[in-house]
């Protein structure tokens, strides 16, 4: 079975993230969404809250698992015996960062491969930080996130 890991902070998960998972299913049999704990990032949602929201969003997907990890992605990949990583690219600036990460990961784990997917046009500009900012000022985010996520954001900002 071909398994891939889709790592990220998912703070919060957006429709762009969901679309990447759905499109990945065309060529991946099992996708592990790996919620990363990055101590350098100040997250709105806790590690547990982010994983919980993802589990709720993907509860009807038989081939999607949600897990969490701390530390280096390559260490997590080794533990899982997975060598394929899925990453979304929105812009050239994403490519620069993701390209560096993919090459660095390969330095630590030679067999790791990274597949980059561009989201559909309506999600090219979408980011979790943009969604958080709109929600903070009580703007409508219903086009950008599932209802469960919109509800959790409303709770955070009321």
- Given 17, 50, 87, 132, which residue is catalytic? 17
| Strand, helix or coil for residue 25 | coil
**Dist. CA 13–CA 141, nearest whole Å:** 12
142 catalytic per annotation: no
Which DSSP letter does residue 122 get?
Answer: G
Both tokens of 95, joined, read 């490519």
- Given 65, 80, 90, 106, which residue is catalytic? 90
138 catalytic per annotation: no
- Given 2, 41, 59, 120, which residue is catalytic? 41
CB 73 within 8 A of CB 112: no
**Dist. CA 64–CA 30, nearest whole Å:** 6
- Given 24, 128, 132, 152, which residue is catalytic? 128
24 catalytic per annotation: no
90 catalytic per annotation: yes
Give the active site residues.
Answer: 17, 41, 90, 128
């Amino acid at each position: 079975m071909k398994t891939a890991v889709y790592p990220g902070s998912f703070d919060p998960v957006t429709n762009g993230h969901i679309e990447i998972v759905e499109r990945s299913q065309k060529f991946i049999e099992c996708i592990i969404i790996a919620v990363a704990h990055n101590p350098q990032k100040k997250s709105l949602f806790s590690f547990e809250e982010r994983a919980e929201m993802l589990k709720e969003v993907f509860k009807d997907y038989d081939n999607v698992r949600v897990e969490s990890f701390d530390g280096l992605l390559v260490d997590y990949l080794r533990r899982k015996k997975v060598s394929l990583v899925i990453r979304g690219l929105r812009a050239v600036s994403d490519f620069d960062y993701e390209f560096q990460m993919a090459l660095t990961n390969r330095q630590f784990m030679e067999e790791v491969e990274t597949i980059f997917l561009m989201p559909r046009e309506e999600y090219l500009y979408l980011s979790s930080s943009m969604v958080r900012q709109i929600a903070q000022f009580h703007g409508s985010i219903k086009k950008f996130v599932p209802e469960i996520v919109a509800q959790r954001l409303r709770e955070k900002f009321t």
